[in-house]
Amino acid sequence: MKNKPLHFFSPSDNELPAPEKVVKAEPLKGSVSSAGKLVFPLKTIEGLGLNPSEARFKIGTPQGKRKLKSLYLIPTSDDTENTFELSKVGRTYGIPLSGILQKQGVDYSTNKLGFSVKPFDYEEGTTGYELRLEEVSDEPRVPKPRGRRPKNQAAS
């Protein structure tokens, strides 16, 4: 019997290449406070690449819609009456919109609302942001107790 040439494997030939990790971009989110402010966490501000001290926005909604489902933020450098600024709120940033939300029929005081932020191309070289409003939970908002506890309750 004639010997056939054989190819022998090593243990390193048996190792599989490490799968490439696909990093999914986490959706950028925020919330609507019980006082009617759009609250942007620091992570969302960084994800959008905004400078909070200089950011100014024009805020709008689609024309002809009865129910408010989305808000549109368009960055602008104008310093006019029609622009909104980000203000520091604790560790987050916010835009007070209580009057607009009430007039549009958004019940932010009793429902927990959140929004997801999606960038879109608005005009030449301008990236706008669509804030799609959504209810966070089915539970109504419960006001936090304020002030001192009554003396007749047992300390827990």
Average pLDDT score over residue span 5-34: 78
CB atoms within 10 A of CB 44: 21
What are the domain boundaries of the chain? 28-138
Closest CA to 131 of 156, 153, 100, 110: 100
Q: What's the farthest any 2 CA atoms get from each other in the chain?
A: 101
Q: pLDDT band for position 153 (50/70/90)?
A: low
* pLDDT tens by residue, 58-111: 888 888 777 888 888 888 887 777 888 888 888 899 999 888 888 888 888 888
Q: Which residue has the higher pLDDT, 38 or 138?
A: 38
Is the pTM for the entire model greater than 0.75?
A: no
User: In sequence order, what DSSP letters do the residues of 74-130 get, joined into one string?
Assistant: EE----STT-EE-EEETTEEEEE-HHHHHHTT--TTTEEEEEEEEEEEEETTEEEEE
